[in-house]
Structures are given as structure tokens and as C-alpha cells.
Structure 1
Amino acid sequence: MINQVHELYKKYEEVINYLFFGVLATIVNIAVFYLFDTVLNVPYLYANAISIVAAILFAFVTNKLYVFKSQSASKGEAFKEFYLFVGFRLLSGVFDMLSMFILVDFLTINTNVSKIITQFIVVVVNYVFSKWFIFKQKEG
């Protein structure tokens, strides 16, 4: 039984790790948003931008080291991964900001509920960006 679980984990390790660290990054995103929006009373779009930056930094480190296990051959390659990661995450961040604006200002949904709704879609979009564009496995 334990061997079967281990084999399943090895087979789906990347997806399992992505989901695990994706959940943690989402928690970071939501917690930072809650802190700034609800506790510190920062306007919700500013709070959202701050939470996106915090989540991007957390996600880069965990995705690089634990999900895609990317080992950069040089500082230039590491910088390229960071640049691409931040660039693509900022694209999903634009979606995040627009979604929040629409959900809060037009549909009048609570800011914290809107943040949670938005994160479900952002996680999927970020996986695709990371898997296919940023931490591509080298051929050979």
C-alpha cells in the first residue's frame, strides 16, 4: 500500500507539488490582502497589488525549487526565469486586478469573497504559464 502511494506520488509529483505550493501561495495572497484591506484599511486595489507581489515572490521560490526543480546553469539563466515568471504572473495579476474591480465595484461582492473567487482561476492560469513558458524542462 505504501509503495503504491509512493509510486502515485512519483508519477504525479509535479502536479501534487504545484497544487500544494499553489495553495500556500494562494493563502499568502489572500492573507496579505486581508491584512491590508480589512485590518489596515488600505484601499482594496492597493491591498490587492501588494498581495499579488507577495504571492509572486513566494511562488517563484517554491516553484523554482520544489515544483519544477529548476537548476539554473548561470545567473543569466536564473534571471531569465525570474523575469519570465514575474512577467507572466503580472499578466495574471492584471486579470486579478480587473476581476476584483468588476466583482467589487460592479457586482458589489465583498472584497474578501471577490479575492477568493478570483484566485481559483488565477491558479490554473499560473500553472500553464509556469509549466509551458518559464520552467521548461531541457531536452536531452
Structure 2
Amino acid sequence: MTTIKVLWQKHKTTIAYLFFGGVTTIINLVTFDIMATYWQWNYQIATVIAWVITVLAAYLTNKVWVFGSHYTTIVAFIKELTSFFFFRGVTLIMELGIMYIGVSLLHGNLLLIKVIDNVIVIAANYLFSKWYIFKKVD
């Protein structure tokens, strides 16, 4: 049991990120699929709306359970929130580009391209969160 505890302590941020990343990915894919497939909305519009919903869920889960961010002032909160949305905006641009190339140019399957897109975006979001947004201040 101590081996599991040691592994958890060493990798808890990554494990929590993968778990909650999975949850937010499901939110993103389901929201996107409903809008793009069932409601027949333009895939770029569905991507942006799914992004907004997902980013709100991701901020809360990343802040509380993944990175355990505890700001002490309103200024720190605003800086963290702004930074989170800025870097998620960067990956939204990546996402829109991937979707455009995969769907409009290559005529790929909408949901398959969205899944591939999510894998790339999740990796980028993790790096931005770990290195810039929720970094530990010593």
C-alpha cells in the first residue's frame, strides 16, 4: 500500500488532471456532438460554444482538485482567471485550426477529428496550466 501512496504523491497532479480532463473532454464532445450532429449547427460555432462550457468546468476542476490553487487576494484571483482564459483561448485557436483542416480541407469524420483535436488540446492545456497558470509560487 505504501507504493501506491508514494506513486499518488508523486503523480497526483497528473492523475487528477487526466481524470478531470477526461470529464471535461466528455462534456466537450457531448456538447459539440449535440450541437453539430443533432441540431445541425455549423461545426465551428459548435466548437466555440462547447469550448466556453468546457473551459468553465475546467477552470473549477483544475483550480480546486488538480492544482489546488489558493489565491489570497482578488487581484491574484483575477490574474489567475485571466491567465487561464488567455491560454485556453490560445488552444481554442489551435482547436479551430485543427477542425478546419480536418473537416473542411480533408473532409474527415466530424467526431473523429474532434477527438483527435481534443487529445492535442488537452496536452497543450496541461502544459500551460502547469507551467504558467497554476504554477507554485515559492
Range into which the TM-score falls when normalised by the shorter chain: over 0.9
Matched residue, 2:38: 39
Q: What is the alpha-carbon distance in structure 1 between the residues aligned to residue 131 and residue 10 of structure 2?
A: 19
Looking at structure 2, the residues matched to 74 and 131 of structure 1 have their Cα atoms a distance apart, in angstroms, of 21
Aligned to 1:104: 103
Cα distance in 2, alignment partners of residues 49 and 86 from structure 1? 13
Q: Which amino acid is the alignment partner of residue 61 of structure 2?
A: T
Structure-2 residue corresponding to 1:94? 93
2:23 equivalent in structure 1: 24
Letter in 1 for 2:8: Y
**Unaligned ranges ≥5, structure 1:** none
Aligned residues with identical type, % of pairs: 35
SS in 1 for 2:71: coil
Q: How far off its partner does 1:41 sit?
A: 1.3
Q: Distance in 2 between matches of 1:96 and 1:22?
A: 16
Q: Deviations over 1:14-44 (max 9, x none)?
A: 1111111111111111111011111111111
| CA apart distance, 1:138 | 1.1
The correspondence of residues 1-140 of structure 1 with structure 2, limited to 5 A, is 2-139=1-138
- Look up the SS of the partner of 1:12 in the other structure: helix
User: C-alpha displacement at 1:3, in angstroms?
Assistant: 2.5
* Runs of 4+ off more than 4 Å: none
* Residue identity matched to 2:25: T
Query: RMSD of the alignment, in Å?
Result: 0.8
Q: Which runs of 5+ in 2 are unaligned?
A: none
